[in-house]
A and B are shown apart, each in its own frame.
Chain A
């Protein structure tokens, strides 16, 4: 049944090469970097690079290229670079600086990251992440991030999920904010110097590809509606993740997949789209008008204990439930890691308790996250210093003080491990198109460890792209960016204009939010924490029907020549619908469980994800057909030498 269905949806392609140098993955980055070509300081000003996005990856990349002397054109849809969603990351940034005597090392970091991702990422990528993380902390500290300090003045660290050492650097519960502000300040420094030109309130709507090479982008000025092209020697997409395909996610309201997905429509491969992280500690949805799932940092699990009442449907206030009627199920099921198991494991455990009728809150859709014991142990002052802003945020949102009453949390769509496929140089299969941060697929496999996303964005932005992009540019010395009169440019601009006009001309009756909301419900139900072949096949069918209704009955008010937020949303939701279909095809095709991708058909006797390494030890690399027809699924095989393939175990080690 599954196979018959899949055959209509995808054909099997070929192997793609990630370009990782042969030999020891621990030294691959150093060896690759040594082979890169260079652009001399005097020639750098002759190159123009487009950077889309100014989150940690985009701002870092744009600033670093500017510091080196390249011309950078930076595009953001926000009013200011500081708004990028990196700002909302809370808990911290990992680095195996190994200053403590808790026996941390780069190899241990790689082991944690590869195992955390359930062996579906590149080992060599993870070594780069660990190695470059050392100077990421130095750099972010120097440009203004006030990292938490011990009383002796040394950098403070804490622990995150899936890790038994303390390697997470932080600034209270607002690490992302401080890193993002430091990075955008560095970006403003380059803007003042004139090396970076910032285009705020501009949304990328297409990639210009000439003879198979990325040559520019088409953007829409979101205030005036003007659509126009920009060309350059190379383009970097650092446009974030696509978790908002689930409609109500932890992401900012405007986060979207459009830039990445339009590049995919132009030929860039999309890797592992079904790898989505459900964050175990988000505010449950209690009413239809609640606009999002607010995130409560994983760092809270350093001190707060997760529990449910042992009795089903126990509606007593939590503080009235005696100790022997509480089930601290993470501590019970995973004694070695306790409350700090990785997110996929915690989310699944939470979902199981809720599914079995022990959920708490008015809709019985949450579990408790309880600081009582920690406050008794260290006092409320210390807890406020560690998490003050998070606790205030929860208090404001729910009108309940988490210092007195346990928080209610549940799994919500959060981070996309999947993304545009890139090689070891962070370049997509389209020459000249680079991808950084969450928009790319790299590093995290089938499940990202907490505090590794700020790290991967910083490493890409500050220390990977600034050396890989010039390596590509060197061969273009003496060339000009594509002329704006080139037929490839004008044709792309015409297609963008036609696409915008199409959305406005449908003239139907259903607002775009209705489609987005339906799509989100569908995905949470059928491509969520638990997935099955039957549900996925049905989901694909339903998404195709939804797309048809969207194209027939969408209602967009206003015109294209003005600030029009409905039009912006319509374009993004049209991409989300196609992306959702691809996610479900990928989830159906990946007939195994791994990390956050849990196919109920494939589990161990005690309910853990059961991989099929014989058949699925690869990255799924999807090529979109240019004409209507099936996708092509290529593979990049994964090999593991430093971290041997094994079943993950958070119970005993």
Chain B
């Protein structure tokens, strides 16, 4: 396949960036987008030129490290699929493919396609945990959790933390990410005691870091973990519960 790549290059956070064009003549439909970038980087380095900086790690769609904007869409054209699992078979011979960093004011560019997503960690730090110290937990079998509840909790817990939801949102909202964690923890018996406090502190942090949600729903189309839009409902519901409890 012949592919024209337009790639965002930006040396540091505060330096201006620009698109750089590369012609690839030997792309294969079975390659992933990242394997194509590996291939291009091998060529660039062999010529003594700076390779394109991008992040990836597990290449199995579970670690959430990768994440670039492909033709304007976070992660790429295949819905609900991480960049490392996006294949060139989505494109045709002669296509132009534009690669940019995730677009969000909450994600400053570090270099080229690498962004700083630490805002997501600060959401978790605000309360996305259960306050039980090592060794103090009761017998896990003594507490029965219905099969359906455990499965539902996992449907929200499986978020990979890639941050594509924020990048896809016209408002730059982090409510899918935050709502998924709130929903996950609210379904399980442990940590119920801190449920309202968690909702308040994570909600406040999400408001400080990200934009508001107006239910465009773009987030759930790109989410590689398939987190359902009901996570947004859970976000709102947890906020409402927390307010009601306080008053």
Contact = CB atoms under 8 A, between A and B. Distances in A.
Interface of A: 60, 63-64, 67, 78-83, 85, 87-88, 97, 99, 135, 137-139, 141-144, 146-155, 171-172, 174, 177-178, 181, 184-186, 188-189, 191-192, 200, 223, 252-254, 286-287, 289-292, 294-295, 385, 389, 393, 396-397, 399, 462-463, 466, 511, 513, 555, 557-558, 562-563, 565-566
A562 B11 contact: yes
B61 interface: yes
B57 A254 contact: yes
Given A80-B120, A188-B128, A558-B50, A563 B110 contact: yes
Interface in B49-65: 49-51, 53, 55-65
A402 B131 CA distance: 41
Interface residues of B, number: 80
B190 A555 contact: no
Nearest to A510: B46
Nearest 3 CB-CB pairings of A with B: A153-B144, A142-B137, A141-B140
Given A149-B147, A155-B141, A562-B12, A143 B45 contact: no
B20 interface: no
B93 interface: no
Contacts of A142: 130, 132, 136-138, 140, 190
A185 B140 CA distance: 19
Interface in B16-33: 28, 30-32
A98 to B, nearest CB: 11
B137 A135 contact: yes
30 contacts: A79-B65, A79-B116, A83-B57, A97-B141, A138-B139, A138-B140, A139-B135, A141-B137, A141-B140, A141-B190, A142-B136, A143-B132, A146-B145, A146-B150, A146-B153, A149-B146, A149-B151, A152-B144, A154-B144, A174-B62, A186-B129, A186-B130, A189-B131, A289-B28, A289-B31, A397-B85, A462-B134, A466-B134, A557-B51, A565-B51
Nearest to B57: A252
Nearest to B114: A563
Contact of B61 (A137, A139, A151, A396): A396
B60 A393 contact: yes
A300 B134 CA distance: 32
Contacts of B229: none
Contacts of A64: 133-134
B212 interface: no
A88 B60 CA distance: 8
Interface string B107-118: 000110010111
Contacts of A151: 146-147
Contact of B59 (A99, A135, A287, A291): A291
B35 A144 contact: no
B140 A147 contact: yes
B89 A399 contact: yes
A409 to B, nearest CB: 14
Q: Is the interface of B mostly helix, strand, loop or mixed?
A: loop
A143 B150 contact: no
Nearest to B61: A393
A396 B190 contact: no
Contacts of B126: 192
B194 to A, nearest CB: 10
B90 to A, nearest CB: 11
A467 B229 CA distance: 44
Contacts of B128: 185, 188
Given A147-B140, A295-B60, A557 B135 contact: no
Contacts of A149: 144-147, 149-151
A566 B58 contact: no
A372 B243 CA distance: 52
A566 B110 CA distance: 16
Given A290-B35, A563-B110, 7 more contacts: A82-B121, A149-B145, A153-B144, A177-B62, A178-B154, A189-B131, A565-B53
Contact of A566 (B45, B130, B138): B45
B113 to A, nearest CB: 11
A146 B53 CA distance: 36
Contacts of B187: 146
A150 B134 contact: no
A255 to B, nearest CB: 8
Contacts of B58: 85, 87-88, 252-253
Contacts of B151: 146, 148-149, 385
Nearest to A395: B85
A135 B161 contact: no
B129 A185 contact: yes
Contacts of A292: 59
A310 B54 CA distance: 45
Contacts of B240: none
B188 to A, nearest CB: 6
B195 interface: no
Contacts of A463: 134-135
Nearest to A84: B63
Contact of B50 (A254, A389, A557): A557
Contact of A153 (B31, B125, B145): B145
A172 B150 CA distance: 11
A138 B121 CA distance: 25
A560 B137 CA distance: 47
A153 B131 contact: no
Contacts of A152: 144
Nearest to A187: B129
Nearest to A173: B62
A642 to B, nearest CB: 26
Contacts of B78: 396
B178 to A, nearest CB: 13
A139 B134 contact: yes
A240 B62 CA distance: 17
A154 B141 contact: yes
B129 A143 contact: yes
Contact of B157 (A138, A141, A144): A144
Contacts of B110: 223, 563
B157 to A, nearest CB: 6
B103 to A, nearest CB: 17
Given A87-B58, A393-B61, A566-B45, A153 B184 contact: no
Contact of B138 (A138, A147, A287): A138
Interface string B142-165: 011111011101100110110000
